[in-house]
Structure 1
Amino acid sequence: MSQLETTINNYFENRSEVKLDSVQEELRHAITDVINGLDSGELRVAEKQNNSWTVHQWIKKAVLLSFAINGNKPIDGGFTSYFDKVPQKFSGLSEDEFNRIGARVVPPALARQGSYIAPGVV
């Protein structure tokens, strides 16, 4: 078990003590690392292994903990507004950044930070 997995599991065991207004830096960093891993495709909540699906519970727990440590914020969606805890993946990206992703993002596409978008996806 990795240190990251251990940290997430320990905080999840004591999740009733995790409060929006007093988040431990260790937890914030651990959740950020997991969300970034999901965002890049390095981590997956579930994956097919040997013809069956495996759910990585500790990653699922990290996502659930992220909801506990982040409050809802208004998000400008151009033609509409949102009120969510998770930042939008494509918010404020430049043309070069979109080109690096290698995917087409067509209106009214919406993806949250932590969602993996593979190159070539439309």
Structure 2
Amino acid sequence: MSLQTDVEDLWQRKQDGLTADDASAEDLTVLDEFLAALEAGDVRAAEKQGEEWIANEWVKQGILLNFGLRHTAEREYGGVTYHDVLPLRKTDDLNDRGTRNTPDGTTIRRGAYLGEDCIMMSPSFVNIGAHVGDGTLIDSADTVGSCAQIGENVKLGANTLIGGVLEPVEDAPVIVEDGVSLGAGCRVTSGFVVGENSVVGENTLLTPRIPVYDLVEEEVLYGELPANRRAFQRFVESSVSEHEMIDGGAFKPAVVATHIEEETLEATEREDALRE
């Protein structure tokens, strides 16, 4: 049987009433093998098919099974006692990839993948199921949520939040494609897709509930930022602006996307020089 078949069989048994008390040593071995496959990059929570990112439902099922079929245990990390169903990820493989995580607060949960030549600054956190591509920078105070797919040569500015999407299992997670630069304080949530080589300004919120005004193609989009865009947060007039209770009008957040300007590219190239 394949790993996928084993996980899908275990998922069905969980739906039929299997609990952590009932799980056998063989069941837990399947879950351990599944986590190892995630950490090696052999399986992913979502993959691009054509122009669309599709969730691998069985992978998300495997992640949920690791929560549902294990008992919480007391654990130690950096002299601190914590309680969780899983230990943190071992990092002895990162050195062989040229990936570095600075001390005092870089936390990687089991089931997360970091590629080659990544930099993970402290404090930062990468959750289970996340896939971080080669050459990507995770800056201080960043969070990469469960199942998020981060491409190669991505720059996550300090204090950036990449949201996690675990359930429902058929929903694609947050996607940040290759070459993207997110400014400090950005938030990307709820399965939003950031197209490759885009540059996003500081403190921009990217979520399917906020419109993206793409001035390049002159269209309004939800849930995605096209490739090769410069994007930033703005506020547009709200439909409740004329309500008598709101003196001076009301405004709602929006994202404006334009062509990438030459000076924007020069700024990102200067950041690249710091890594060389």
Query: Does TM-score exceed 0.5, indicating one fold?
Result: yes
User: Letter of the aligned partner of 1:10 in structure 2?
Assistant: D
> Which structure: greater strand fraction?
2
User: Letter of the aligned partner of 1:118 in structure 2?
Assistant: G
CA distance in 1: counterparts of 2:31 and 2:79, whole angstroms:
31
CA distance in 2: counterparts of 1:5 and 1:98, whole angstroms:
26
**TM-score, L = length of structure 2:** 0.39
CA contact (8 A) 1:89 1:112 kept: yes
CA distance in 2: counterparts of 1:12 and 1:34, whole angstroms:
13
Deviation of 1:49 after TM superposition, in Å, equals: 2.0
CA contact (8 A) 1:18 1:68 kept: no
Larger radius of gyration, structure 1 or 2?
A: 2
- The question of 1:113 aligning with 2:106 is answered no
Equivalent position of 1:39 in the other structure: 39
Shift in alpha-carbon separation, 1:98–1:116, aligned structure 2, 3 A: closer
CA distance in 1: counterparts of 2:94 and 2:13, whole angstroms:
39
> For residues 7-54 of structure 1, what are the alpha-carbon distances to aligned partners after superposition, in whole Å with 9 as ceiling and x for unaligned?
222221221432222313442222222111101111101122212111
Deviation of 1:101 after TM superposition, in Å, equals: 4.2
Shift in alpha-carbon separation, 1:73–1:25, aligned structure 2, 3 A: closer
Deviation of 1:78 after TM superposition, in Å, equals: 1.9
Identity of aligned residues (%): 23
CA contact (8 A) 1:44 1:59 kept: yes
Q: RMSD of aligned C-alpha atoms?
A: 2.1
CA distance in 2: counterparts of 1:82 and 1:48, whole angstroms:
36
Structure 1, unaligned runs of 5 or more: none
Pick aligned residue for 2:99 from 77, 81, 103? 103
> For residues 68-100 of structure 1, what are the alpha-carbon distances to aligned partners after superposition, in whole Å with 9 as ceiling and x for unaligned?
222122232326432211211137x5xxx5522
Shift in alpha-carbon separation, 1:11–1:80, aligned structure 2, 3 A: same
CA distance in 2: counterparts of 1:80 and 1:29, whole angstroms:
28
Aligned residues: 117
CA contact (8 A) 1:72 1:84 kept: yes
Deviates more, 1:29-38 or 1:8-17: 8-17
> Which structure: greater helix fraction?
1
CA contact (8 A) 1:45 1:56 kept: yes
CA distance in 1: counterparts of 2:29 and 2:76, whole angstroms:
26
Higher relative contact order (CA 8 A, sep 6+): 1
CA contact (8 A) 1:101 1:119 kept: yes
User: Letter of the aligned partner of 1:66 in structure 2?
Assistant: N
Equivalent position of 1:5 in the other structure: 4
Runs (4+) off by over 4 Å: none
**TM-score, L = length of structure 1:** 0.80
